[in-house]
Each structure stands twice: as structure tokens, then as C-alpha cells.
Structure 1
Amino acid sequence: MLRFFLSFLLCLVLSLRVGAEGGRPLELRVVVPDDAAPMAYREKSGHLTGFSVEIARALCNELQASCVFDVVAPGNLLEHLLQGKADIAASGVFETPEQRNRMLQATPYYRSFSLWLGQSDVPPGRRGLRVAVMYGSIQEDYARRQGWEIRSVRSSEELMRILVAGEAQAALVPMIGALQMQKNEAFRRLGLAPTVLRAPELGGDISFGISPLRPQLRTEINTALERIKRNGTYDRINSRFLPFRVS
């Protein structure tokens, strides 16, 4: 009996060592914003959830890894990856092409486009407009090249405040951001008309960012993403948070 017990302990120690040294992380540090509903936000209870957050949790389950979430401002997501403070950035916030080239990207997990929100007499073709955008986004980069006067903000709440206060004439936002703002009564009273902007640089596939210090994660995350799409987990999360299919 003692010999059997000692053999069991030896096997257990060896299996744990293989698991720790086999390349699969036991813990993944995931950075997300918490003011980007329905992608990433806190419920009234304080629980962190949203489409991107739950997709990340599903991927961690597939990888048999523990997710540790850290809330970070959208403009700081990339730096956390580059500095090794995070393994994954699970966010639908667009980065500029220059920023994307500095990080690794997993297979896209949804496709987005951009919306112009303005009164009918404030078309996007006019120059000199005061336009609200999210800091560090491709919408901001595009707006600057159009010659608009930019109002860069770091949260959807601040963007809505600027519009309601008349500090900006229009906003250029990702489709998900526009969905969230429509839930705000003061914003709806503005009567801003949404217009899809078809510029190629304002839409496209959205991927989780991966730290260049953990390149092996890309293959693992891509494989896990494919599995949750096949087993129905992805569709259930999509239906829970979004009124349309985004895959």
C-alpha cells in the first residue's frame, strides 16, 4: 500500500511538472475596458461581463487556463501587452495600423464598421466640423486626416456628454459604441442620424491582441476560438449580448 501511495505521488508530481512546462499557461492575464458595453462592462453588482469578456472566458475554459482580468483604459491596452503586463487584450477598440503592427493578433472574433452620428445638416463631407472620437482609435486617425476639429475622449460616457453639451457637432464611433449610446435617454433626444461610413480603414475584422512576449498563445487561442464556434458557445454569447450576428 505504501509503495502504491508513493508511486501515485510521484506520478502526480510528474504530471504537474509536465503541465507547467508544456507551454500552456496556467494563468492568463487579460486586459479589457469596463465602459464599452455591450463588449466589456460591469453589471450593477460589479461583475465584469460583455461579449468580448465572455468570449475571453470561453477561450480560457477551452485552454483549461485561469483568466485574471484587469480593467485598463482603451488607450493603454497596447502598452500593457508590449510591457508584459498582460497576455491578451480582449477589446473591440480599434487600433491604428501602426499600433496593430506592434502586437500579435489572433484570428478575428467579429467584424465591425463605423457610424457617423450627426444631424441631417451635418454631413461627414464637411470640413471644419467638431467631431468626437475615442482616443487611440482608427476613427480618431481618420478624423484627423479629414481636417475635422477633434474632441478625443476616453469613454463612451464622456463622448455622450460632449455631444449633449454641444461641444461636438457629430461623432464617429464603432458600431458597438453606437448601440450602447442608443440606450441613453439624453443621447436619444438629440435625434442624431446614423450613417455608415464605407471607408475601408473604418471597418474590418477585430481580433484579440496578444503580447509579443507570448507568441505561442496565438496558435492556442486560434484553435480554441474555432472550437467554441463549432460547439455553439460563440453563438450563445453572441445572442446574449448583441442583436445581430457578428461572426
Structure 2
Amino acid sequence: MRRLSQLSATVLLALGISIPQIAYAQAPNAAPPGAASPITLPSVAVPGFWDPNRRPERPDVTRLPTQIRFATTDDYPPFSFRDENGRPAGFNVDIARAICTELAITCTLEVVPFDQLVAALEEGKADAAIAGIAVTPATRQMLDFTDRYFRSPARFVARRADGLSDVSPDAVASRKVAVVGGTAHEAYLRDFFAEAAVRSFSTPEAAREALQKGEVDLLFGDGVQLALWLNGTASADCCAFAGGPFTESLYFGEGMGIAVKPGNEALRQSLNYALARLWEEGVYTDLYLRWFPISVY
């Protein structure tokens, strides 16, 4: 089992980020082929993952347990972590609470290590895990998932002083692009931006440093990690997103869903209903803007 973009509290401190830290970014440019179709607000694009033509049915509450026991982790900011008072906080935590309010059902939230989430579901110690588990063919063999409620896109970043905005394959062909070696982001670059001068680095920190020093023209990587860096003091406001988001699932995964024990269709469908309602009512947008004030899209 693997998790989407790993970010510990230590990494966030290194980036100079306090959570939540509110700042607003320039709205993204038009998305290239393969990108998501977000809703663009005045300064932040909020992604929508729900088809307005497919509305889940209202759940039969008599088929649900008297309470939903959510499991999450405390090492995955800004999705789930402990705040200054030691209480669980983050985007995932707020989504879980909003779901319970929508369903008008009592919920509990337990923090467990990431590698124990599957066991917690299998052994009946938890009903649902909302912890950034990547939805993949491998995890689908172990768990059932709700509809996607978040996806971290790939993004290009450029130095502000360079004013680069066109990140089409033709425009990038003459550019040096930093990327972390051995990742899906490197594979995507080499497959679709074959003419670019791809420079592989061993760590995200090294790739970011190369961009800041002007050793490369662009940086390509995970949108959440890059947004946190851009919004923190470590970037020194050097850089900004260039172009739109890339969300090719074959490279960057299907995104996040809430995991439940296989066969628990009543709960899964109820969670899907609640997620769709949170989107329709604007609750999802409010939570997204709270935790991702500099848009990853």
C-alpha cells in the first residue's frame, strides 16, 4: 500500500510553512490536454470531482451503523496532523467531520499509524480510513473506495523573473527541466516532453535549489508539495506555477478516496452521497480554500 505525496511536519518546517498559512496565488493558466477541469474562483482554482449528471441516492440510514468510526493518521499535513493543542486537524479531518454532519450521524476519529490502516478495517476496529491512501489496482484488491475527493496534479514551476508561462512540449523543448529521478514525474517528462533537457535530482530539495539558483529553467513535480513550498518562506517568493495541471492517471494515480472494508456497500454509498452533497452545497470548496489557499490546480 502506498500513500499520495508524503509530507511530514518536519518537511513543512523546513519549507517555512505554518499550517494553515493563508495566502493567495495567481489563478492557473488554461489547462493543457490531460489536465483537470477546475472551477476558477478569483484567485484559486477549486477542482471538482463529481459529475452533476450522476447524483448518488440518499442512503437508507437504517442500514448504517449507529456511528462511523473513521481512522486517519497524524503525519500527513496538510491532510491530517496534530494541531498546536495536539488535536487531529487537516483537510481529511475536516472532510470526515463534514460527512458526519451531512449524514446526521455520530462519528469518532482515531489516529493510527499508516501501515496499520488496512488491519484496522479488516479487524473491524474502524469503519472507514481517510488518510491519503492512493487508489491503485493494488489497493483496490485489499479495499473498497469511495469516489475520488482529491487528486494531486503534476505542475511546472518557473522563476518569476523569467516570466515563463507556456509549458507546451514545443516551448519546453529548449529548456532545462529539473525533476526528482526515478519518479512518475520523470517518466512523464521523458515520454511527453522528450525534447526537453531533463535534469534528474536525488531529492525534491535539490531540484528546488537548482531552480532557485537558475541552474534549470523549470521544475516539474507534485502539485501539493510545490504549492506548499511556494507558499512558504523557503522559496523566498522566487517562483510560481507555470501552465496548468497534469492529471494523467497512468502516471500520477487516480487520487484519494475513503477506504472501507470490501463489501461494505451501504457505508461506501452513504459516503459517496455525502461527498457529492458537500460539493453541491459549497462545503467542499470552503474546506479546500482553507487548506489549499495557494491552488495546486
1:26 maps to amino acid: T
Aligned residues: 204
The SS at the match of 1:111 is coil
Is 1:200–2:249 an aligned residue pair?
yes
- Identify the match of residue 176 of structure 1 among 224, 248, 271: 224
The SS at the match of 2:151 is strand
1:210 maps to amino acid: V
Q: 1:78 to 1:192 in 2, by over 3 A?
A: farther
Q: Distance in 1 between matches of 2:176 and 2:115?
A: 32
Question: Which range is displaced more, 199-208 or 232-241?
Answer: 199-208
Alpha-carbon shift at residue 43 of structure 1 (Å): 1.6
1:113 maps to amino acid: P
> Which stretches in structure 1 are left out of the alignment for 5+ residues?
1-20, 134-138, 144-150, 152-158, 165-169
Q: Looking at CA atoms only, which structure, 1 or 2, has the larger radius of gyration?
A: 1
- What value does the CA root-mean-square deviation take over the aligned residues? 4.4
Is 1:75–2:115 an aligned residue pair?
yes
- Identify the match of residue 63 of structure 1 among 103, 111, 127: 103
| Structure 2 equivalent of residue 101 of structure 1 | 141
Asked if the contact 1:116/1:197 (under 8 Å) is kept, the reply is no
1:243 maps to amino acid: P
2:271 maps to amino acid: I
| Structure 2 equivalent of residue 212 of structure 1 | 262
| Structure 2 equivalent of residue 240 of structure 1 | 290
Equivalent residues in 2 for 1:127-146 (5 A)? Answer: none
| Structure 2 equivalent of residue 148 of structure 1 | none
Asked if the contact 1:107/1:207 (under 8 Å) is kept, the reply is yes
- Identify the match of residue 152 of structure 2 among 112, 124, 146: 112
The SS at the match of 1:238 is helix
Deviations 1:47-66 (A, max 9, x none): 21211111111111122222
Alpha-carbon shift at residue 180 of structure 1 (Å): 3.6
2:277 maps to amino acid: R
1:43 maps to amino acid: D
The SS at the match of 2:267 is helix
Asked if the contact 1:110/1:206 (under 8 Å) is kept, the reply is yes
Asked if the contact 1:238/1:246 (under 8 Å) is kept, the reply is no
Q: Distance in 2 between matches of 1:106 and 1:197?
A: 22
- Identify the match of residue 52 of structure 1 among 64, 67, 92: 92
1:36 maps to amino acid: Y
- Identify the match of residue 69 of structure 2 among 6, 14, 29: 29
Q: 1:197 to 1:23 in 2, by over 3 A?
A: closer
Asked if the contact 1:160/1:181 (under 8 Å) is kept, the reply is no
Q: 1:33 to 1:180 in 2, by over 3 A?
A: farther
Q: 1:115 to 1:32 in 2, by over 3 A?
A: farther
Asked if the contact 2:224/2:296 (under 8 Å) is kept, the reply is no
